[in-house]
Amino acid sequence: AQKITQTQPGMFVQEKEAVTLDCTYDTSDPSYGLFWYKQPSSGEMIFLIYQGSYDQQNATEGRYSLNFQKARKSANLVISASQLGDSAMYFCAMRGDWGGYNKLIFGAGTRLAVHP
Amino acid sequence: DAGITQSPRHKVTETGTPVTLRCHQTENHRYMYWYRQDPGHGLRLIHYSYGVKDTDKGEVSDGYSVSRSKTEDFLLTLESATSSQTSVYFCAISESGGETQYFGPGTRLLVL
């Protein structure tokens, strides 16, 4: 069965420093995708970054990068040069195959607080 | 930003009453999804649609039904609301089943 685990309920980081949010996954499918979403206090879900299981390079989007270690089944999000606006909940998700259809499975999330 | 709206944005209702939430998209995406978000659970899929009149169940579908009569609209109905259905409901869309899902603003539902 597919599963996403985020072991850090809360993290804090000083402004301008880098932070890594952990995500491990479990799947038996050879083809899958991993996503990170940000949920600020206003409540919307914002797509940040995507990594495909066959992608050779780690995904990057601006200050966000995904540290993809396939053998360890981890897909950690790295935020460089943290800003106060990065304070939010962050969700890792995996595209899973349930009965032939692709669906997203979410972790429980990590709350990040950026301190000035 | 993907053109996704949800209505209503907030609703308070009583146990046993029917409730319908609407998701509307202007992106002409084939796939639409309904999730609920509860503390400690992340988001969980309720139902999804892969085309007009084509829908299927997710992991927490009990007590919910959906309908999709037009590409742009996906309705979620609680036939007889219960307090356990108090939650934040998100609609999402994607071009295909494997593509990135983009989310609507959410609907906060309180069942008293």
pLDDT digits (tens, 9 = 90+) for B7-44: 999 999 999 999 999 999 999 999 999 999 998 778 99
Mean pLDDT rounded to a whole number for chain B: 94
Q: What does the pLDDT look like over B69-92, one tens digit per residue?
A: 999 999 999 999 999 999 999 999
Does A59 have pLDDT greater than 60? Answer: yes
Q: Where are the beta strands (DSSP E) in chain B?
A: 4-7, 10-13, 19-25, 31-38, 42-51, 54-57, 64-70, 73-78, 87-94, 102-103, 107-111
CB-CB contact of A109 with B42 (8 Å):
yes
* Average pLDDT of the residues in A67-91: 96
Instruction: List residues of B whose CB lies inside 8 A of any A CB.
Output: 33, 40-45, 48, 50, 56, 58, 88, 90, 92, 97-98, 100-103, 105-106
* Average pLDDT of the residues in B98-102: 86
Greatest Cα pair distance, chain B, in angstroms, is 38
Q: What DSSP assignment string belongs to A27-89?
A: ---SS-EEEEEEE-TT---EEEEEEETT-SSPPEETTEEEEEETTTTEEEEEE-S--GGG-EE
- pLDDT value for A102: 67
The set of residues, in sequence order, having a beta carbon less than 8 Å from that of A30 and lying 6+ positions away, is A53
Does A25 have pLDDT greater than 90? Answer: yes
Does A57 have pLDDT greater than 80? Answer: yes
Does A104 have pLDDT greater than 90? Answer: no
CB-CB contact of B6 with B106 (8 Å):
yes
Q: Mark yes or no for CB contact B100/A102 under 8 Å.
A: no
Task: Tell me the pLDDT band of B66, cut-offs 50, 70 and 90.
Answer: very high
Say whether residue A101 is in contact with chain B using an 8 A CB cutoff. Answer: yes
Mean pLDDT rounded to a whole number for chain A: 92
**Out of A35, A46, A101, whose CB is closest to B56?**
A101
Does B1 have pLDDT greater than 90? Answer: no
* Average pLDDT of the residues in A68-85: 96
Query: Could you give the CA distance from residue A76 to residue B82 in angstroms, rounded to a whole number?
Result: 37
- pLDDT value for B42: 83
**B102–chain A nearest CA distance, Å:** 7
* Residue A85, phi then psi, degrees to nearest 5: -70, -5
Does B63 have pLDDT greater than 80? Answer: yes
